[in-house]
Amino acid sequence: MKTRTLGTADAALEVSAIGLGCMGMSQAYGPLPDADDMVRFLGQAVDAGVTLFDTAEVYGPHTNETLVGRGLAPYRDRVVIATKFGFDIPADGSRTGWPLNSRPEHIRWAVEGSLKRLGTDRIDLYYQHRVDPQVPIEDVAGTVGELIAEGKVLHWGLSEAGAQTIRRAHAVTPVTALQSEYSLWWREPETSVMPTLEELGIGLVPFSPLGKGVLTGTVGAEATFGEGDIRATIPRFSADNWRANHALVDVVVAQAERKGVTPAQLALAWILAQQPWIVPIPGTRKLHRLQENLGAADVELTADDLAEIETAAAEVEITGDRYNAALAKLIDR
């Protein structure tokens, strides 16, 4: 597996060119898989060359960190574990609709819980999951900087943060990576944050790089998303919007056929071609899909390929928000 570097100087972190998003192993996409199967799957991912694994305290909640910790324990010194803080989740994981909480004392409480669930003595990459408007980002960055000095955290990042927040945070404790949605399906980061990331030497870790699975070409235009599937709550997947938005999937499928790769590989290769400091983290629970995704790192898109993809994608207008109203309120601008 090829590698890439997130961040620069003291904040640099080398990881596999494609990581693995682990959220779906514990929530969001229908019936949950057997936990023991996922533990074995995580080991298979390591064997396949993945070194970046992404989880969060809110996934499950808590259960995903425990699962990832179990699966990666035999390989701890070979992998980079990324997790996240920022929600006020009780120790027992009860209650729903957790409020934001990035107060310094809560960050310290949260990191101890994550370390315990992951079964490790350090977190390789620790993200603020969502920006807390009640806490100055300088206080957050300072607290994480103290955790780095103590060795409990090695690198840190932000998720769905705006450019000004990134600048303020980076000025206190150098930021290694920003995690945000980015794909052919959602390109807003190209203008809102990517120029800032390039200027400051911060990496981008796109989640949902396959458009929550639809850019694999396996979800038809008339598909519906049932209970337990996060897509059922997202406006862009409502029946009318999805029928219209499926035109982008058709573009990806057509371009993939022309290139002789799968739609997922085309979509991931397009992301990798945008900047050398981008490391997508597609989620999957199936070994053959993982192997397919990792194959994208070996797909070379020429300038002509990229221009043709750009021209075809520009003809499709995506309709519907990427978040429901409650989640949209958590995005930092």
> What is the spatial distance between Cα 98 and Cα 118, in angstroms, rounded to a whole number?
21
Q: Which tokens hold the place of 65?
A: 């960190």
3-state secondary structure of 131: coil
Does residue 59 carry a catalytic annotation? Answer: yes
Closest CA to 100 of 125, 138, 141, 128: 128
State how far the alpha carbon of 90 is from the alpha carbons of 4, 95, 106, 161, 171, in Å. Answer: 36, 8, 11, 24, 31
DSSP per-residue codes, 38-70: HHHHHHHHHHHT--EEE--TTTTTTHHHHHHHH
What phi, psi does 302 have (nearest 5°)? -75, 170
3-state secondary structure of 196: helix
Which is the catalytic residue, given 59, 126, 127, 182? 59
> What is the spatial distance between Cα 243 and Cα 183, in angstroms, rounded to a whole number?
19
What phi, psi does 42 have (nearest 5°)? -60, -40
Strand 203-207 to strand 20-21: parallel, antiparallel, or no bridges (unpaired)? unpaired
Amino acid found at 69? G
Name the residues annotated as catalytic. 59
